[in-house]
């Protein structure tokens, strides 16, 4: 999976102990320049899903801590949101949690000539994700995954 940049890693380490006791999972952290502004985006989730009040609550919790620790040396916009229906899959636990659900996986390098797979998640064996596609089961090493997310048929 792609590595976080230094700021994303620092923010993750700061935010996790604040929101986990509140029942929230930190799905992803993005820190990037958008136009003239820097944006720090936190994607949160929980079993019952996320609503606007949850985002506001987490924003309030982490905003004070970010102001106090000041890990980012310049101005930025803080956004807290749900990961959406095509939630990213980042960890071994994500692939286990969503076993049986449809997902799309992109690889850094081709596996048997293919770099993209969409199918049903079949679990994790050792350090490989099992995905059941129309062509049968594929085993993809987690370290070879560039990007993965739940797939939703509209």
Instruction: Grade residue 8 by pLDDT with cuts at 50, 70 and 90.
Output: confident
Instruction: Grade residue 6 by pLDDT with cuts at 50, 70 and 90.
Output: confident
pTM of the entire predicted model: 0.80
Reference 78, options 54, 42, 51; nearest CA is 42
DSSP state of 140: E
Instruction: Could you please state the CATH topology (level 3) that the domain comprising 92-150 is classified under.
Output: SH3 type barrels. (2.30.30)
For domain 6-81, give the CATH number. Answer: 3.30.300.70
Q: Where are the CATH 3.30.300.70 domain residues in the chain?
A: 6-81
Instruction: Grade residue 2 by pLDDT with cuts at 50, 70 and 90.
Output: low
Does 36 have pLDDT greater than 80? yes
**Average pLDDT of the residues in 91-103:** 92
- The two tokens of residue 30 are 């993005």
**Average pLDDT of the residues in 13-41:** 93
Does 70 have pLDDT greater than 90? no
Instruction: Grade residue 100 by pLDDT with cuts at 50, 70 and 90.
Output: very high
Kindly report each contact of residues 60-65 with a partner whose C-beta sits within 8 Å and lies 24 or more positions away, as own/partner.
61/18, 61/19, 61/22, 62/14, 62/15, 62/18, 62/19, 65/14, 65/15, 65/18
**Average pLDDT of the residues in 116-120:** 94
**Crossing angle for the helix pair 52-69 and 6-19, to the nearest 10 degrees:** 120
């Amino acid at each position: 999976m792609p590595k976080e940049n230094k700021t994303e890693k620092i923010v993750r380490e700061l935010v996790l102990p604040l929101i986990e006791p509140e029942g929230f999972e930190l799905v992803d952290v993005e820190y990037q320049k958008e136009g003239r502004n820097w944006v720090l985006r936190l994607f949160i989730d929980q079993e019952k899903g996320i609503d606007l009040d949850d985002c506001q609550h987490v924003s309030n919790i982490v905003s004070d801590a970010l102001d106090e620790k000041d890990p980012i040396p310049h101005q930025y916009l803080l956004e807290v949101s749900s990961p959406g229906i095509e939630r990213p899959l980042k960890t071994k636990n994500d692939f286990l949690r969503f076993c049986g659900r449809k997902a799309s996986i992109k690889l850094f390098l081709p596996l048997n000539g293919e770099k993209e797979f969409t199918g049903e998640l079949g679990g994790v064996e050792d350090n490989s994700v099992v995905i059941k596609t129309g062509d049968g089961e594929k085993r993809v090493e987690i370290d070879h995954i560039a990007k993965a997310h739940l797939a939703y048929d509209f």
